Chain A
Amino acid sequence: MKNADFMSAAARLADSMKQLEMAWMATKEEWSDSVSQRVEDEYLVPMHSQVQVMLDTVNKLTGVMSKAERACLHNREAGPIL
């Protein structure tokens, strides 16, 4: 898109979630009891879902906004739309 970039922020969010999950996998090797299970079940699993929902929302948002942009740009402004 020419007038907004939603994907960079979404990619950043996705990447930070991935980093957090990797950190958790490493931690789990050293910590495995009812409290660590609680960290996973009550925090990390919901956080993962929340981020996934957010990324889906941003994808949809980008789709609609790209169409809006294409429809409202003049040919001479258009150029290559990403």
Chain B
Amino acid sequence: MAESANVRSIDAVKNFHAAVVRFQEEARLSISSLEMQLLRFVGWMERDRPTFWKREIEMCYREMSEWRVRLHQCKMRKMGDFKPTCFEEKKALEKAKKDLEHAQKQIPIVKHWTNSAHHEANEYHGRASQMTQMIERDIPMLLAMLHQVVDRLEAYGNVQAPGQVANPFPTAAASQAEDVRATESTVAKDLQSETEVEQ
């Protein structure tokens, strides 16, 4: 049995169709931006960080050897009973050692966080693919449905006199979106028979 449609404004449906198109576009852009940011970040973790900390280790070694030389030179400045404290050199050497230790510890830390970043990125990609499916499969189905609603309403508007109860949506049309095209022909038949009755 057919249910009666309750649409007071075709423009409202058209406006909603436009809103869905805007949402689809915005959602696409958001997903693509997220993907870009994720690629950039994972690239930074994978390539930039290991190189950065390796360079840092090399720099610390250079600093250490430099301060060792300076400390040695300082100690050599002993004159008579005067023994230089070489405080600055000792302090700098100590700092270079600590920096080296820190940089060496960063190598496994970077590996650990790169793995975590990969894990998170995989989880994200799982969700994002569902979202993409929604954008590229479900939304077009919704748009097709809305388009069809507008088409039917407009078709009925052309056929029926004002004040008559329009029925552009038989119950069959409320089934699967894939059936949308099939129900279109049902409506066309309904339309045809109603027109014949009126004649």
Contact = CB atoms under 8 A, between A and B. Distances in A.
B8 A6 contact: no
A30 to B, nearest CB: 3
Contact of B6 (A4, A31, A69): A31
B41 interface: yes
Nearest to A75: B102
A15 B23 CA distance: 9
Contacts of A46: 134, 138
Contact of B38 (A6, A20, A72): A6
Interface residues of A, number: 49
A70 to B, nearest CB: 9
A16 B41 contact: no
Interface string A37-80: 01100110011001101100110110011011101101000000
Interface string B14-58: 011001101100110111011001101100110001001100100
A29 B12 contact: yes
Contacts of B188: none
Contacts of B38: 4, 6, 61
Contacts of B106: 72
Contacts, number: 155
Contact of A31 (B3, B7, B20, B121): B7
A14 to B, nearest CB: 9
A72 B177 CA distance: 49
Contacts of B131: 50-51, 54
By CB atoms of chain A within 10 A, which of B5, B29, B34, B106 has the most?
A: B34
A50 B137 CA distance: 13
Interface of A: 1, 3-6, 8-10, 12-13, 15-17, 19-20, 23-24, 26-27, 29-36, 38-39, 42-43, 46-47, 50-51, 53-54, 57-58, 60-61, 64-65, 67-69, 71-72, 74
The 9 A-B pairs at the shortest CB distance, nearest first, are namely A23-B19, A30-B12, A16-B26, A4-B41, A68-B113, A13-B30, A9-B33, A27-B16, A33-B6
